[in-house]
Amino acid sequence: MRLLPALAFGTLMLPLAAQANEPHSYAQPDQVVVTHLDLNLKVDFPHRQLDGQATLTLDWKNPKATTLVLDTRDLKIASIEAVDAKGKTRALTYVLAPADKQLGSKLTIQTPKRPHEVRIAYVTSPDASGLQWLPPAQTADKKQPFMFSQSESIHARSWVPLQDSPAIRFTWDAHVTAPKNLRVLMSAPNNPQHPLDGTFDFKQTHPVPSYLLAIAAGDIDVKETGPRSAVYAEPSVVGKAAHEFEDTEKMIATAEKLYGPYRWGRYDILVLPPSFPYGGMENPNMTFATPTVLVGDKSLVSLVAHELAHSWSGNLVTAASWRDIWLNEGITTYVQGRITEALYGKRQADEETLLSIHALQKSIGSMSANSQRLAPQPRDISADDSLSDVAYDKGSWFMRTLEQKFGRKDFDTYLKSYFNHFAWHSITTEQMLAFLKPNLIDKYPGKMRWAEVKDWVYGTGIPKDAPIPDSPRFDAIDKERTAFLAGTLPATKLDAKSWNTQEWMYFLDRLPDAPPLAKMQQLDAAWHLTGTPNAEIGMRWYSHAIAAGDKAAWPAAAEHMTRIGRLYLTMPLYAAFAKTPDGLAYAEQVYAKAKAGYHPLTQQAVEALFAKAKAKQSGAK
């Protein structure tokens, strides 16, 4: 079909018709676009809700439009009114549609006079998918309640009525009230010296998509780690976190040398309670991070490098839809590796790359053909499912391939120009490719065929010539693992005293899916893996111990599952238990105790896994 004229900023900007074709949003940006959001929020811990008022500034694209369509999920709407240029208001009629399981409820507001602003008063649900409310008992210090958001992918609509699509960027400000002595933080510049007086004001002057809206409130202390960085966490955690993340300023400076200035002002990190469902979330100015990376030796701080890298790929240049999310995650994972290499050496960067490569090689074959593509057919994949290993690991592998083909110097120059060209905009895969072809592929002819590029982006699987780094340490571990499994090398003779976290991960990752019980018992006796405080090692160890039938490890696995709500570190254990009837029954007991401390996204994932396991076991009978 013929597209509508493109937005400003050259010929490569996103057409309005493409914005309107986002399958995960009800918004109609070809009719009207939100350009600014003014929030007034009250944090209500007793009722587990935000009392909100959202004022949306509108840019009407169609002079004949008569409705404003927004995304919501489980919001209770109190009133909606138009606001004219003089501040006068008048009530608007609206219809809140029945809820769709994936998309929430379409909010259609009648706006016959196309007002400059629309103001919505509302209350969130205690079960909002994008918010978690923790009682004091579920926090580290067990003194005060804690609340935090997780808006990616399409959960911002559960705490703000808006156009919840990554294609739509807006500036925002917020006034938030909360109980005194608690700190409120948002995804905007935060003041480490702000008094805990119950009133907080925020201003995000850069246009951002809705999934980067974030809020947290609780007993939060702060330690500065540099002239433009600080770590926030509960008082008992903040010192450990500040030590672990003391290289943050070096990371910022390293990224700036590669890809240009950091454009957001401050870069702070909030370490959340362990129920946070992800490793990290790249909220502008305030990365939300899991405490599971606080192992004391900085071996897992690549997570911070990843979230910081999003300040260029993702937050500065954003995927226009969840189908294009590899533009965020794949490029970011590549940049993460470059930061890690510069600060901690090529060995650690290569080991982390190999871990992701092997994980992708193991998982991609079980995916549908469409899910194996960097740019899949969008309607076949949900917004949350778009955030898969393919987006992260195949995407970064493609970036490393480009680096190898064109050389690091020329590829760095290209990538820096890409960030500058598309800064503060949301783009599609096709727009990225339209920039890539003249500025890299055609500029240096003979180094990579266009057919190879299309195979990476639109093809299934992994191209046969995909480059894989060498790791002598991993090669040596392969030999030791083989000898151990063959019985020619006792567990006590493994050269594991010198292994770092990544090397232990690699050793465990490549054990058989169901290793012999005796071998697991020998390994545990020699290296005391049951009870490890390192969650990355623990997840891998318990998964294999459960698969081997080692019931002695079950209580420690249950403690890990109860303490940690991060999906990546918890779901493999539930999956391992769910493979047998006894294991499934035990996992259900663990979940009954752990559920209250899990984020809604983790709850949904566990319950879906249980349903699938029960159906499979029932069918087997």
Q: Which of residues 458, 482, 504 is at a domain's end?
A: 458
Q: Do 479 and 611 lie in a common domain?
A: yes
User: What is the distance between the alpha carbons of residues 357 and 73, in angstroms, rounded to a whole number?
Assistant: 37
Pair 439, 417: CB distance under 8 Å: yes
pLDDT, average across residues 29-34: 97
Q: What is the residue whose two structure tokens read 């503060």?
A: 424
Q: Do 452 and 492 lie in a common domain?
A: no
- Give pLDDT tens digits for 154-174: 999 999 999 999 999 999 999
pLDDT score recorded for residue 388: 85
pLDDT score recorded for residue 386: 64
Of the candidates 381, 260, 255, the one whose C-alpha atom is nearest the C-alpha of residue 325 is 381
Cis status, amide bond into 153, omega within 30 of 0: yes
pLDDT, average across residues 327-351: 97
Pair 83, 89: CB distance under 8 Å: yes
Q: Do 390 and 506 lie in a common domain?
A: no
Q: Which of residues 393, 425, 458 is at a domain's end?
A: 458
Q: Do 364 and 393 lie in a common domain?
A: yes
Confidence of residue 134 (pLDDT cuts 50, 70, 90): very high
Q: Do 427 and 484 lie in a common domain?
A: no
Distances (CA, A) of 236 to 220, 412, 444: 10, 41, 54
User: Beta strand 268-271 with 286-289: parallel, antiparallel or unpaired?
Assistant: parallel
pLDDT score recorded for residue 383: 67
* Alpha-carbon dihedral 115, 186, 384, 273, rounded to 10 degrees: -150
Of the candidates 388, 264, 248, the one whose C-alpha atom is nearest the C-alpha of residue 315 is 264
Q: Look up the domain containing 538 and give its range.
A: 474-620
**Single-letter amino acid, residue 59:** D
pLDDT score recorded for residue 226: 95
pLDDT score recorded for residue 620: 67
- Ramachandran class of 260: left when φ > 0, alpha when ψ lies in -120 to 50, beta otherwise: left
Helix (H) or strand (E) holding 59: strand 49-60
Our answer to whether residue 392 is catalytic in this structure is yes
Note whether residue 417 is domain-resident. yes
Q: What share of the chain has pLDDT > 90, as a percent?
A: 91
Asked if pLDDT for residue 302 goes beyond 60, the answer is yes
Q: How many CA atoms are closer than 13 Å to the CA of 402, on its beta-carbon side?
A: 29
Confidence of residue 106 (pLDDT cuts 50, 70, 90): very high
Note whether residue 31 is domain-resident. no
pLDDT, average across residues 556-572: 96
- Give pLDDT tens digits for 41-92: 999 999 999 999 999 999 999 999 999 999 999 999 999 999 988 889 999 9
Note whether residue 312 is domain-resident. no
> Residues at the annotated binding site for Zn(2+)?
306, 310, 329
Q: Do 415 and 533 lie in a common domain?
A: no
CATH number at residue 478: 1.25.40.320
Beta-carbon count within 10 A of 271 CB = 28
Q: Which of residues 399, 433, 458 is at a domain's end?
A: 458
pLDDT score recorded for residue 86: 86
User: What is the distance between the alpha carbons of residues 510 and 284, in angstroms, rounded to a whole number?
Assistant: 36
Confidence of residue 619 (pLDDT cuts 50, 70, 90): confident
Pair 576, 547: CB distance under 8 Å: yes
CATH number at residue 415: 1.10.390.10
Asked if pLDDT for residue 14 goes beyond 80, the answer is no
Note whether residue 30 is domain-resident. no
- Give pLDDT tens digits for 468-520: 999 999 999 999 999 999 999 999 999 999 999 999 999 999 999 999 999 99
pLDDT score recorded for residue 5: 29
Confidence of residue 8 (pLDDT cuts 50, 70, 90): very low
Q: Do 416 and 536 lie in a common domain?
A: no
Asked if pLDDT for residue 4 goes beyond 50, the answer is no
How many independent structural domains does the chain possess? 2
pTM: 0.93
The full DSSP string for 526-557 is: HH--TT-S-HHHHHHHHHHHHHHT-GGGHHHH
Q: Do 488 and 365 lie in a common domain?
A: no
What are the structure tokens assigned to 576, written together?
Answer: 């391992």
Catalytic residue (one of 307, 351, 403, 452)? 307
Pair 48, 126: CB distance under 8 Å: yes
Note whether residue 483 is domain-resident. yes
Asked if pLDDT for residue 269 goes beyond 90, the answer is yes
Q: Do 565 and 453 lie in a common domain?
A: no
For 551, list phi and psi in degrees, rounded to 5: -70, -15
* Alpha-carbon dihedral 23, 28, 29, 32, rounded to 10 degrees: -170
Q: Do 448 and 558 lie in a common domain?
A: no
Widest distance between CA atoms in the chain = 83
Pair 240, 294: CB distance under 8 Å: yes
- Give pLDDT tens digits for 426-457: 999 999 999 999 999 999 999 999 999 999 99
Note whether residue 541 is domain-resident. yes
Our answer to whether residue 234 is catalytic in this structure is no
Confidence of residue 588 (pLDDT cuts 50, 70, 90): very high
Note whether residue 118 is domain-resident. no
Q: What is the mean pLDDT of the chain?
A: 94
- Give pLDDT tens digits for 373-422: 999 986 666 767 767 899 999 999 999 999 999 999 999 999 999 999 99
Q: Do 481 and 611 lie in a common domain?
A: yes
Beta-carbon count within 10 A of 40 CB = 16
Q: What is the residue whose two structure tokens read 């030796």?
A: 297
pLDDT, average across residues 309-333: 97
Catalytic residue (one of 94, 392, 591, 598)? 392
Higher pLDDT, 8 or 30: 30
Q: Do 487 and 584 lie in a common domain?
A: yes
Distances (CA, A) of 298 to 127, 243, 247: 35, 9, 9
Note whether residue 529 is domain-resident. yes
